[in-house]
Amino acid sequence: MDETVKKYLNELKKMGIEYQILEHPQLISVEKVQEYLGYGMADAGATLLMKADEKFVAIIRRGDTKLDNNKVKIFLGVENLGMATEEEFAKITGVPSGAASVYIKGLPTYIDKKVFEKKYINAGSGSLLVTLRYKTSDLKKIPGVKIVDFTEIKSDEKISKTIIGKKRILSGITPSGDGSLHIGNYLGAVRQFIELAKNNECFLFVADIHALTTVQKREELEKNIETLILNELSLLGDLTNITFFRQSDVPMHTELQSILNNVTSLGLIKRAHAYKDKLQKNQTEEDINMGLFNYPILMAADILLYKTDMVPVGRDQKQHIEITRDIADSFNKTFNKKIFKLPEPFIPQEVAVVLGTDGKRKMSKSLGNIISIFDDEAVIKKQVMSTYTDPTRKHATDPGHIEGNMVFTYLDFFGEKKRVEELKGLYKEGKVGDVEVKNFLFETLMKYFAPARARYQELKSNPQQVKKILIEGAEKAREVARATMVEVREAVGLTNQYSFFKY
């Protein structure tokens, strides 16, 4: 911490102003700093150095507000109002632009009242590498400070997306199977991701490097990847808040894995489920490749590379996030730099663990108990008609049971509620047969997934559109990953000293 910051902190202590020190790399904007620290612009305090006629004043506003210049001019009784130039800023504050503190000695200070709607706010310290988290009520202790009403909330859509609560979400899908998705995949993962993407920044990648642990035939892997990409893009639809890309298109994943290998203990990885499960299935260490053994480290690299806040996982995957947190913490402590966030697992309380059409086991292609989404209608109808219902019911006129009846289980997820409840009543009374409710389920699924199926056909016939999505996604992912790796390389000593290599 430089002497300018230390001197400023002493001034704050004298005034009785509380603060928390938040260190971060030098970033290009307040938005990026807030994002790095895990806050939104409503939690940022901006110190504006204004030239009012021939005098200078400091105005502190919230990051999600804009200044009403007319209000300021009327209040100050001046005719001309403008921002100080960079030269004027540096001369008056003694710090670079973007590093202004909330207290500038000898300068009249005005704090907009919207700042006090927050209990705490992040603002300048005099350094581009340190942000201070202030208790807003303490800001009233600044000598001669005046509380004013100078701003209004920005209505700009870009700003509104940075409100507190917005998180960075990351998820990966491994094309180890044939890549096709069924309604169990949709209910268990895709649906939750679509919901999360409405109010968060989401990164979703096809984990093709992970797939190499089990798929080692080129043609098979290429087909799996292509199918999975088409399935995912068709179900996702709107990609407004989603960066979709292939893991192998971002080389920083494997570079970071190599670095993290050196701060990860052997014992930690030996405790991982993936490794232990293989040993329990009578496989020897000779049968387990290093890709599978190192799987948790690559997964940690995937997550940490994007400064991820939350990772949607099932309960059986929670250990991977715990390992990732351990690795991140180990790196931060080893190199004495808080580069990596400690991500949180996102485990929805009501994640649908959907039984298959046999009503006994989890829906799985290998068990043949699925209902497809993108197969031909004839295939899907056959799957629906094989669905387990009520084995005690011999005739359509017999009273039927709803509990454990997979047709009604699926209808509860996809059907129109009123009509489903009507059918349940008729079924219990023996007034509707299995064939009728199965036909209704088939029609319901066709209607529910009609937009996705249409997108699937469009994308399948237009590979250039898919290629464009993947290129744009990879470029965005590389931009974020590159920024992280610059920090990582700096921390470990692999600095870019030579002109022949530059991120």
375 within some domain: yes
Which residue out of 362, 428, 467, 468 is catalytically annotated? 362
**% residues pLDDT > 90 (the chain):** 56
| pLDDT value, residue 28 | 58
Structure tokens at 136: 């807003």
Q: What is the CATH number of the domain that holds 417?
A: 1.10.240.10
Helix, strand, or coil here: 154?
Answer: coil
Question: Both 196 and 266 in a single domain?
Answer: yes
Kind plus residue range of the DSSP H or E element containing 12: helix 3-15
Question: Both 145 and 277 in a single domain?
Answer: no
| pLDDT value, residue 1 | 61
360 within some domain: no
Asked whether the beta carbons of 47 and 96 are under 8 A apart, the reply is no
In sign, the C-alpha dihedral spanning 258, 264, 267, 270 is negative
pLDDT tens sequence across 5-45: 888 899 999 999 998 888 877 765 787 787 767 778 888 99
Asked whether the beta carbons of 344 and 303 are under 8 A apart, the reply is no
d(CA 213, CA 63): 46
The answer to pTM > 0.75 is no
Residue 240 has pLDDT above 70, yes or no: yes
- What is each CA distance from 339 to 204, 263, 305, 342, in whole angstroms? 22, 14, 10, 10
Distance of CA 242 to the CA centre of its chain: 9
418 within some domain: yes
Which residue out of 71, 114, 278, 337 is catalytically annotated? 278
- What is each CA distance from 331 to 252, 262, 265, in whole angstroms? 17, 9, 11
| pLDDT value, residue 157 | 33
Question: Both 99 and 190 in a single domain?
Answer: no
Q: Which amino acid is at 183?
A: I
More confident residue, 392 or 163: 392
Block residue for tokens 């260490």: 285
- The residue-averaged pLDDT of 47-54 equals 89
Residue 447 has pLDDT above 70, yes or no: yes
Structure tokens at 135: 């208790």
Helix, strand, or coil here: 89?
Answer: helix
Question: Both 174 and 150 in a single domain?
Answer: no
Question: Both 21 and 89 in a single domain?
Answer: yes
Helix, strand, or coil here: 425?
Answer: helix
Within 8 A by CB and 6+ apart from 171, the residues are 189, 193, 202, 203, 204, 205, 311, 312
d(CA 228, CA 95): 52
Asked whether the beta carbons of 482 and 334 are under 8 A apart, the reply is no
- The residue-averaged pLDDT of 263-287 equals 77
Question: Both 444 and 469 in a single domain?
Answer: no
Asked whether the beta carbons of 352 and 281 are under 8 A apart, the reply is no
Question: Both 94 and 200 in a single domain?
Answer: no
pLDDT tens sequence across 92-131: 888 876 778 888 888 999 999 999 999 899 998 888 888 9
pLDDT tens sequence across 79-100: 888 888 877 888 888 887 677 8
498 within some domain: no
More confident residue, 495 or 63: 63
- The residue-averaged pLDDT of 42-56 equals 89
| pLDDT value, residue 165 | 57
188-221 burial code (b ≥16 CB/10 A, e <16): bbbbbbbebbeebbbbbbbbbbbbbbebeeeeeb
Residue 298 has pLDDT above 70, yes or no: yes
Which residue out of 365, 382, 460, 476 is catalytically annotated? 365
Asked whether the beta carbons of 183 and 410 are under 8 A apart, the reply is yes
289 within some domain: yes
**% residues pLDDT > 70 (the chain):** 91
Q: What is the CATH number of the domain that holds 296?
A: 3.40.50.620
* Window from 411-420, 455-464, 484-493, 494-503 with minimum mean pLDDT: 494-503
503 within some domain: no
Q: Domain range for residue 59?
A: 3-156
Question: Both 436 and 473 in a single domain?
Answer: no
Query: 460 an active-site residue?
Result: no
| 463-492 vs 252-260: helix crossing angle, rounded to 10 | 30
Distance of CA 303 to the CA centre of its chain: 10
Beta strands 45-52 and 81-83 are antiparallel
d(CA 117, CA 196): 27
- Looking at the DSSP bridge assignments, the partners of residue 66 are 152
> Which has the closest alpha carbon to 129: 26, 222, 32?
26
Within 8 A by CB and 6+ apart from 231, the residues are 179, 180, 181, 373, 374, 456
Structure tokens at 237: 């639809």
Question: Both 473 and 432 in a single domain?
Answer: no
Question: Both 293 and 371 in a single domain?
Answer: no
| pLDDT value, residue 496 | 62
End-of-domain residue from the set 156, 183, 198:
156
Within 8 A by CB and 6+ apart from 389, the residues are 400, 405, 406, 407, 434, 437, 438
Structure tokens at 14: 């004298």
Residue 500 has pLDDT above 60, yes or no: no
Asked whether the beta carbons of 152 and 65 are under 8 A apart, the reply is yes
End-of-domain residue from the set 156, 183, 209:
156
Question: Both 229 and 324 in a single domain?
Answer: yes
- What is each CA distance from 322 to 269, 299, 306, in whole angstroms? 11, 11, 17
Asked whether the beta carbons of 243 and 203 are under 8 A apart, the reply is yes
**Terminal C-alpha separation, the chain:** 27
Query: 146 an active-site residue?
Result: no
Residue 163 has pLDDT above 70, yes or no: no
Residue 466 has pLDDT above 70, yes or no: yes
Question: Both 286 and 435 in a single domain?
Answer: no
Structure tokens at 416: 């129109």
Query: 278 an active-site residue?
Result: yes
- Residue 499's pLDDT band (cuts 50, 70, 90): very low
pLDDT tens sequence across 183-224: 999 988 898 899 899 889 999 999 999 999 989 999 999 999
26 within some domain: yes
More confident residue, 500 or 379: 379
Q: For the chain, how many structural domains are there in total? A: 3
End-of-domain residue from the set 136, 156, 176:
156
Distance of CA 19 to the CA centre of its chain: 29
**Measured over all CA atoms, what is the biggest interatomic distance in the chain, rounded to whole angstroms?**
93
Beta strands 201-206 and 168-173 are parallel
189 within some domain: yes
